[in-house]
Chains A and B, each alone.
Chain A
């Protein structure tokens, strides 16, 4: 939002004092006490709704999840037993879990790296003087109106279909054999990463554009005078100054990217979709969690996997933070 300090409408005078009844001094004191109470209590009242809701739907479930991870809770079990670290031990020895971790990290890298680089380039282009630049900004932002479910259907059913898909049609034109996109790990990852990138590249480009517009033009003018090329200006002025914003987008992409669910789920249809392909070649950790809960009815185990997913997000976010923080500082 722009920082216009346009003053809002002036307050409409003071409150009308009700005609005093009885002892005027006493009502005055009463009023003062009420005003003090108002100042003391109002702030808490105003922030309370968030915390009430969070206590019920955030904090309580989190504590509950931790407890569940030490139990064999299942709607199929008549009793619930405390099983200590059994779920964790099972999870660490579960090849299907590690497969889902591998897929999640793989698709995350395959989607996020090109996405953010492309967004950076797009933002740099959008940050130019050009007639109709608003049209380009709107066009590049328009994928945000589509839901991930819609993206998954349009791309999955039409672009990455095996027998008639647009991608295969184009490949045949240049003499490449049709690809069964869902069959292989690499091809399914590529399809899903494409969906993610189509949806989010423009969004990230707009975020970078906002940060670029905040960079003073003097810096570029000075660089120009020193004879620095456009490319050099981009890498030595723009990128280092964008570092906080790049860190922000990397962290957000990590948090959402590692929770990837809808696109791989919708890539296949039917009841086995949570498995992520015939061999689990595109099952993500979130799909693993839901499968453990829904299909296998192992609630304690699902809770354990959910906690490990959170741990994974925190670790990967920390690694990415450390990596990106050094960006441009070594040059």
Chain B
């Protein structure tokens, strides 16, 4: 069939084979290394542990010296107080953050996979120019454009609306790059060629040949995207100025502004805001760590 001639080989080179299974590392850790790592691990974990201590004690004990080093029994009480706090609207914030970050995650994974596949395996005029254009767009910070973006939100009537923190971020250049790289490496061209010979349409090829192979990368991209937008502060702070409809991070800001003397309540709030990602981290930390390690090196 003539269609097969349309299938082109991927760009040569660039397929960097990582030494994932390279020769074993030569050095064993010495005692100094173990001590250093232990100190680093304690310093990394301590602020989170401290958050649990304060969130589970009375507010008065947050101001004590020497400090308490074990959690207390007031966690439920403090959590209830922060959930009941109508100024901070943290429950609403949690729901909003889940909706916004969840929507962005699903959309980013979907559209990045499709676009990444196109950049990796389809030939079209202007492909390289468009790819470079995406790279350049990643350099433009939101900070630069807050005035026109803010104005745009007013015109669209999205101020204080969850749409403002969701819709502009539905696709990311980083995601497209990540998925392109993974498609290049994990989907052999012969497979796509074979599907073409069988008369598959481009969409069918993506759906049945490429998409199943992309699952591991999609999972990593999804995790990183969700974490990023769950934690996002700057833009929500700008457009969700009305404290009654916040994201969870904006709720924390309200708590800080109005209740900065009530550490137990604030720390219960930070604990709630961190918990979803902490759970995700515990469940998927191998994927997350691998995503950070490999995504950055290849990005």
Give A residues with C-beta under 8 Å from B: 1-15, 17, 32, 35, 38-40, 42-44, 46-47, 49-51, 53-54, 56-58, 60-62, 64-65, 68, 73, 121-122, 125-130, 133, 135-151, 153-155, 157-159, 163-164, 166, 169, 198, 202-203, 206-207, 209-211, 213-218, 220-221, 224, 230, 245, 248-249, 255, 259, 261-262, 265-266, 269-271, 273, 286, 289-290, 293-294, 299, 302-303, 306-307, 309-310, 313
Q: A207's contact among B148, B231, B281, B293, by CB below 8 Å, is which? A: B293
Chain B 43-66 residues near chain A, CB threshold 8 A: 43-45, 47-48, 50-51, 54, 62-66
Chain B residue at minimal CB-CB distance from A256: B141
Chain A residue at minimal CB-CB distance from B28: A129
A310 to B140, CA, bound (A): 8
Chain A residue at minimal CB-CB distance from B127: A43
Chain A residue at minimal CB-CB distance from B232: A147
Q: In the assembled complex, how far is the CB of residue B127 from the closest CB belonging to chain A, in whole angstroms?
A: 7
Q: Is there an interface contact between A224 and B26, defined as CB atoms closer than 8 Å?
A: yes
Contact status of A217 and B25, CB under 8 A, knowing A61-B145, A65-B147, A207-B297: yes
Q: In the assembled complex, how far is the CB of residue B49 from the closest CB belonging to chain A, in whole angstroms?
A: 10
Q: Is there an interface contact between B263 and A286, defined as CB atoms closer than 8 Å?
A: no
B191 lies within 8 A of chain A by Cβ: yes
Contacts of B144 in A (CB 8 A): 62, 65, 306-307, 309-310
Some 19 contacts from A to B, beta carbons below 8 A apart, are A5-B188, A15-B198, A15-B201, A46-B206, A49-B114, A129-B29, A140-B44, A147-B230, A147-B231, A148-B233, A149-B231, A150-B273, A153-B266, A153-B267, A158-B62, A216-B23, A270-B257, A303-B148, A306-B146
Q: In the assembled complex, how far is the CB of residue B89 from the closest CB belonging to chain A, in whole angstroms?
A: 15
Interface centre among A217, A245, A309 (most CB of B within 10 A): A217
Q: Is there an interface contact between B274 and A145, defined as CB atoms closer than 8 Å?
A: yes
Q: B292's contact among A5, A163, A207, A216, by CB below 8 Å, is which? A: A207
Contacts of A265 in B (CB 8 A): 237
B132 lies within 8 A of chain A by Cβ: no
Q: Is there an interface contact between A1 and B216, defined as CB atoms closer than 8 Å?
A: yes
A99 to B132, CA, bound (A): 36
Q: Is there an interface contact between A128 and B33, defined as CB atoms closer than 8 Å?
A: yes
Contact status of A46 and B118, CB under 8 A, knowing A125-B37, A206-B293: yes
Q: Is there an interface contact between A214 and B18, defined as CB atoms closer than 8 Å?
A: yes
Contacts of B293 in A (CB 8 A): 206-207, 209-210
A133 to B27, CA, bound (A): 13
Chain B 189-241 residues near chain A, CB threshold 8 A: 191, 194-195, 198-206, 208-210, 212-213, 216-217, 220, 227, 230-234, 237-238
Q: B27's contact among A50, A51, A128, A303, by CB below 8 Å, is which? A: A128
Q: In the assembled complex, how far is the CB of residue A34 from the closest CB belonging to chain B, in whole angstroms?
A: 8
Give B residues with C-beta under 8 Å from A: 2-3, 6, 17-20, 22-29, 33-34, 36-38, 40-41, 43-45, 47-48, 50-51, 54, 62-67, 111, 114-115, 117-119, 122-124, 127, 130, 133-134, 137, 139-141, 143-152, 167-168, 170-171, 173, 176, 182, 185-188, 191, 194-195, 198-206, 208-210, 212-213, 216-217, 220, 227, 230-234, 237-238, 249, 252-253, 256-257, 260, 263, 266-267, 270, 273-274, 277-278, 280-281, 285, 288-297, 299
Contact status of A207 and B296, CB under 8 A, knowing A147-B230, A150-B273: yes
Contacts of B6 in A (CB 8 A): 39
A10 to B198, CA, bound (A): 12
Contacts of B67 in A (CB 8 A): 166, 169
Query: Which 10 residue pairs are nearest across A and B when measured between Cβ atoms?
Result: A210-B293, A147-B231, A8-B213, A139-B41, A64-B148, A14-B198, A43-B124, A46-B118, A61-B145, A128-B29
Contacts of B50 in A (CB 8 A): 154, 158, 166
Interface centre among A51, A56, A62, A128 (most CB of B within 10 A): A128
Q: Is there an interface contact between A198 and B152, defined as CB atoms closer than 8 Å?
A: no
Contact status of A286 and B143, CB under 8 A, knowing A129-B28, A147-B274: yes
Contacts of B285 in A (CB 8 A): 138, 141
Contacts of B295 in A (CB 8 A): 1
Chain A residue at minimal CB-CB distance from B297: A210
A3 to B16, CA, bound (A): 9
Q: Is there an interface contact between A211 and B297, defined as CB atoms closer than 8 Å?
A: yes
Contacts of B205 in A (CB 8 A): 11
Q: Is there an interface contact between A46 and B148, defined as CB atoms closer than 8 Å?
A: no
Chain A residue at minimal CB-CB distance from B112: A50
Contacts of A136 in B (CB 8 A): 37-38, 40-41
Chain A residue at minimal CB-CB distance from B34: A130
Q: Is there an interface contact between A8 and B209, defined as CB atoms closer than 8 Å?
A: yes
Chain B residue at minimal CB-CB distance from A163: B63
Q: Is there an interface contact between A35 and B3, defined as CB atoms closer than 8 Å?
A: yes
Contacts of B191 in A (CB 8 A): 7-8, 10-11
Contact status of A1 and B111, CB under 8 A, knowing A14-B198, A122-B40, A139-B45: no
Q: Is there an interface contact between A149 and B253, defined as CB atoms closer than 8 Å?
A: yes
Q: Is there an interface contact between B146 and A50, defined as CB atoms closer than 8 Å?
A: no
Q: Is there an interface contact between B200 and A43, defined as CB atoms closer than 8 Å?
A: no
Q: Is there an interface contact between A43 and B118, defined as CB atoms closer than 8 Å?
A: yes
